[in-house]
Amino acid sequence: MPKTFTEKEKKLIKNILIQEGRELFSKYGLRKTSITELTKAAGIAQGTFYNFFDSKEELYFEIIELEQFKSEQFLENIVKSSHSSKESLRKIIKGIFELFEINPIIHRLYESRDYELMVRKLPPEKLENHNKDDAVRVLNFIMDMQQGNELIDARPEVIAGLLRAITMLYFHQDEIGRDIYPEVINLLAEIVADGLVKEI
């Protein structure tokens, strides 16, 4: 007879799976992390894993969503501590690269094929809802950045695309030149902020 868990035990097991998943996915990636490794840390049978997640890809996705929430909090704090839209944009561009340095799973998601592998196994509606929520969050985020008599002169989806494009530079430090990379990012942050923010 399968073991039944109390709500408290379920919550604890799920948290352990998320914690262990974060560590293993960061270190080995999605393909090389097995469900056996994940369940061993939680002290559950391999088959019991499916009481919590339909696949290891869904666990990975939940971890990514949690990490994304932390990243958004990090960037929101930058906006709150800034005195102008230009300052917010400059700090956000620099902050994105800081996130990669301090967050190994986000770093790996962009650098490896993990995202592509994850998406293949996710239900389409889950990804669609995630993308819709993302669009709303970006819109709100851009609106929050606009302060006083300053207007960010571009559509939110274009700014989101621009930030994604800038993010990709992190993985081309060798081509850019590691010795000049920090100066390049600082200059880019200045140029983007000056170009996008207009006085009303």
Tell me the HSE value of 132 on the side-chain side, using a 13 A CA sphere. Answer: 6
The residue range of the domain holding 87 is 55-199
pLDDT of residue 34: 93
Give the range with max mean pLDDT: 13-17, 41-45, 97-101. Answer: 13-17
| 81 lies in the same domain as 44 | no
| 28 lies in the same domain as 39 | yes
Mean pLDDT of 83-87: 87
| 72 lies in the same domain as 127 | yes
Own/partner contacts of 42-50, CB < 8 Å, gap of 24 or more, are 42/13, 42/16, 42/17, 43/13, 43/16, 44/13, 48/2, 48/3, 49/17
pLDDT of residue 22: 93
pLDDT of residue 1: 44
| 72 lies in the same domain as 111 | yes
| 78 lies in the same domain as 108 | yes
Give the separation between CA 36 and CA 45, rounded to whole angstroms: 8
pTM above 0.85, yes or no: no
Give the range among 5-9, 106-110, 142-146 with minimum mean pLDDT.
Answer: 142-146
pLDDT of residue 123: 86
DSSP 150: E
| 39 lies in the same domain as 74 | no
| 66 lies in the same domain as 133 | yes
pLDDT of residue 2: 56
pLDDT of residue 116: 85
- Extract the tokens encoding 75: 């960037």
pLDDT of residue 157: 75
Number of domains in the chain: 2
| 32 lies in the same domain as 117 | no
Mean pLDDT of 91-95: 89
| 21 lies in the same domain as 110 | no
pLDDT tens-place string over residues 23-68: 999 999 999 999 999 999 888 999 999 999 999 999 999 999 898 8
| 40 lies in the same domain as 75 | no
pLDDT tens-place string over residues 139-195: 777 777 776 677 777 777 788 788 888 888 888 899 999 999 999 999 999 999 999
- Per-residue pLDDT band at 8 (split at 50, 70, 90): very high
| 16 lies in the same domain as 77 | no
